Structure 1
Amino acid sequence: MNYLQLATDFIQPKLKGKYIHLETILPILNNLNSDFKVSEIGKSVQDRAIYKVEFGVGKTKILMWSQMHGNESTTTKGLFDFFNFLQSDSELAKNIKENYTLLCIPMLNPDGSYLYTRENANAVDLNRDAFLATQPEMKVLHAIYNSFQPDFCYNLHDQRTIFGTEGFNLPATVSFLSPAYNEERAYNDVRLKAIQVINKMNDFLQQYIPNQIGRFDDSYNVNCTGDYFTTQNTPTILFEAGHYNNDYDRDLVRKFVFIALLSSFTVSYENVIVDNELTKYLNIPQNNKSFYDFIYKNVKIIDNNEEKIINFAAQYSEVVSEGELKFVAEIVKIDDLQNFNGHEEYDCSGGLFSANGDNFPKIGDKASFFINNLTEFNNGVKII
């Protein structure tokens, strides 16, 4: 079965780009077929509705939530693509319906999603509020968790373009984590159950994005949702949708999220060979911070009347303006780039930098400049 073709066939066409908020998903929620039960389960700080979507009648219960961080929408798109698939007459869709009960919260932080911020409207990172549950959105998640009593939790996120896979000059397009349950980061049966699912998803994804699947850092923090639910003895899997070449809108990466979700339901939960599963998991390369969006090499500058050849890097920031998401490239690092890669790299061959009357880049400035007063770079990109 070609899972990438399935991911393409079942894309939800009404969800595009990264700016996905409640008004974007509501029409789709209202049009899910009768196999789905959609209901409001609470309100956000700014009184926006939080919805759950239930599917299936099976024994194994899985709780999923997306957009806990409002500006992390790739997994939301992948989740709705998965809903599209579940509405089909595929045998695998029927098998999921018969053997699983899914409870999905497609947008836990609707205020942050509208404002395009990581935090909620109280400027609280919900993924640091799991233990105390001070925020209304986290109270909703706790209440659903306690009433549903899931067998597994899927914690769906995005990660920045800065992450690569250790040992490879490749972006971490999808990353996973079986969160720790104690400071020692020991492995128990709960973590191993999550690891078994991660290994299956990794096997499938390697067919499509080899060496671009990462293992997220497992430093313990009980305030983080995954760590907290693992301490409550529920196997929890962190999904992190990352970067793929030239896919800043992440409309290709959503397909890999779909593949991960779908392949997770092909796991046999019996006869776990503990040593084999843990070894496979630990062989997934660690995420590391090894990328910038742009690196410019061999750039001549004049600083205090002295000529130098340097390298510098620029990174996109994401800004919502007039209802649209804009990518704004800013200079973030000068020199000391030996261990970094650029998603786009330019060799300026000793050409002289100029911008706003200066012959040297400044951190925080827009990445719009000239080389030798001839070659123009606008918003990070070389103008041809």
Structure 2
Amino acid sequence: MIKTFSTIINKYVTIKEVGLNGRYINAAHISKPLKKAALNFKVEVLGNSTLGESIHLIKVGSGKLKILMWSQMHGNESTTTKAVFDMLNVFGEYPDDSVIKNILNKCTIYIIPMLNPDGAKAYTRVNANDVDLNRDAKNLSQVESQILRKTFDDFKPDFCFNLHDQRTIFSAGANDFPATLSFLTPSENMERSITKSRKQSMKVIGAIYEDLSKLIPNRIGRYDDGYNDNCTGDTFQSLGVPTILFEAGHSNDDYAREKTREYVFYALLSGLSSISTQDFRKLDKSIYFNIPENEKLFYDVILRNADINGRNVDIAIQFKEILKNEKLVFLAIVENISNNLAFFAHKEIQCNFQSVTLPDHKSITENVIVDKILLKDEVLMIN
């Protein structure tokens, strides 16, 4: 399948929505891309968020196969939102491309690009009432949850794409490859039964995996499918609609998630293409189970063989994302100081048994913020 949209891959630089960059994406940022989308597609307001921000719906295509996708259910998970607008650009600019034409003719796609605009503005997982919308599918206590459910009930989709970001801690299996993309077909019950709808979503994921593993070998993972009836994906799956969880993860030196965004864009096209052609039906569900399951094996930085007060240790650092003056700041926090840490890092620094201290020569301890350290009296920047 990758070969069939190789032309699009070669044109990605021109397709990419230039108005959206970085991790902090809120309603103001998508206003211009929405206006651009409205030139080619129908854009409407479904309702308003808790704080009164508009929640938009974009309608694409004219086919019988119906796909509902939503992004930024968690406000601080914006990579898939960027990829969605990249996808809208390719739909608008290359409608005569064979792959795109087939998708638009065979599918009707409803897209909610930002379900939680209040959380997006505050850069938080939760909404303005401090509720995780992905744990509100059962109670439907929040207006944003109600809007999504009403859209689902009215549209009656054949497939759902639930679009998220994942943390940098995940590896694709028990190895030193980060989970740049991860997928899941949610369970319908506590027994994790492989039902008809799950089989279909497994096969679509299998199609995406076969395509994307050619671009990012060893960097695609699979989430644990433990059942939670409060989760949106589990709920929609239990209603008989094949549902696919997309998780955008870490690429090397890509904390802005611009490279990962590109891979999500390809994954969206791959999934939609396999549905529009029905090619996914030819695949066996075993492909899905061959995708390595995610494990939490990464830190952002590990200082190896550091000397702290005569003790040889590894120092593990994790970045915490903080919104400051509408800019995202990564705070480097020491999470673990141990001998021979059996973890991987996106960046490793070999200290060669030399003394490591804070810039004021105080000892490094767990839970402290470190933007720079002294390695044998030489200043070393962490991020």
Q: Which band: TM-score by shorter chain?
A: over 0.9
| Structure 1 residue 337: Cα displacement | 5.6
| 2:45 maps to which of 10, 32, 40 | 40
| Structure 1 residue 322: Cα displacement | 1.3
Amino acid in the other structure paired with 2:292: P
Contact 2:43 2:56 in 1 (8 A): yes
Match of 1:353 in 2: 356
Measured against aligned partners, the alpha-carbon deviations of 1:321-371 in whole angstroms (never above 9, x if no partner) come to 112111121111111663310100011011112213423333233242101
| 1:68 maps to which of 69, 73, 88 | 73
Match of 1:330 in 2: 333
Measured against aligned partners, the alpha-carbon deviations of 1:223-277 in whole angstroms (never above 9, x if no partner) come to 011001001111000000000000000011110000000011222437836xx62
| Structure 1 residue 131: Cα displacement | 1.0
| Structure 1 residue 33: Cα displacement | 4.8
Looking at structure 2, the residues matched to 37 and 21 of structure 1 have their Cα atoms a distance apart, in angstroms, of: 21
Match of 2:231 in 1: 224
Amino acid in the other structure paired with 2:338: D
Match of 1:98 in 2: 105
Match of 2:278 in 1: 269
Looking at structure 1, the residues matched to 256 and 367 of structure 2 have their Cα atoms a distance apart, in angstroms, of: 25
The alignment partner of 1:96 has SS state of helix
Measured against aligned partners, the alpha-carbon deviations of 1:1-27 in whole angstroms (never above 9, x if no partner) come to 425324333100000001000000011
TM-score by length of 2: 0.94
Measured against aligned partners, the alpha-carbon deviations of 1:259-311 in whole angstroms (never above 9, x if no partner) come to 000011222437836xx622111000001101000000111111xxxx21010
Provide the aligned length of Structure 1 versus Structure 2. Answer: 373
Alignment of 1:170-189 (within 5 A): 170-189=177-196
- Whether 2:63 is the aligned partner of 1:58: answer yes
The alignment partner of 1:50 has SS state of strand
Match of 1:153 in 2: 160
Looking at structure 1, the residues matched to 270 and 232 of structure 2 have their Cα atoms a distance apart, in angstroms, of: 23
Contact 2:315 2:336 in 1 (8 A): yes
Looking at structure 2, the residues matched to 244 and 4 of structure 1 have their Cα atoms a distance apart, in angstroms, of: 18
Amino acid in the other structure paired with 2:278: Y
Match of 1:243 in 2: 250
- Percent identity over the alignment is 40
| Structure 1 residue 377: Cα displacement | 2.2
Contact 2:71 2:80 in 1 (8 A): yes
CA shift in 2, pair 1:270/1:320, >3 Å: closer
| Structure 1 residue 91: Cα displacement | 2.5
| Structure 1 residue 209: Cα displacement | 0.3
Looking at structure 1, the residues matched to 109 and 233 of structure 2 have their Cα atoms a distance apart, in angstroms, of: 18
Match of 1:191 in 2: 198
- Whether 2:144 is the aligned partner of 1:137: answer yes
The alignment partner of 1:288 has SS state of strand
CA shift in 2, pair 1:74/1:326, >3 Å: same
Match of 1:319 in 2: 322
Amino acid in the other structure paired with 1:364: V
Match of 2:176 in 1: 169
Looking at structure 1, the residues matched to 37 and 85 of structure 2 have their Cα atoms a distance apart, in angstroms, of: 10
Question: Is there any run of 5+ residues in structure 2 with no aligned partner, and where?
Answer: none
Match of 1:200 in 2: 207
The alignment partner of 2:194 has SS state of coil
| 1:373 maps to which of 370, 373, 377 | 377
Looking at structure 2, the residues matched to 279 and 230 of structure 1 have their Cα atoms a distance apart, in angstroms, of: 19
Contact 1:4 1:208 in 2 (8 A): no
Match of 1:84 in 2: 89
The alignment partner of 1:155 has SS state of strand
Measured against aligned partners, the alpha-carbon deviations of 1:51-83 in whole angstroms (never above 9, x if no partner) come to 000011100000000000000000000000000
Looking at structure 2, the residues matched to 360 and 98 of structure 1 have their Cα atoms a distance apart, in angstroms, of: 60
Looking at structure 2, the residues matched to 280 and 312 of structure 1 have their Cα atoms a distance apart, in angstroms, of: 38
- Whether 2:21 is the aligned partner of 1:29: answer no
CA shift in 2, pair 1:146/1:76, >3 Å: same
The alignment partner of 2:258 has SS state of coil
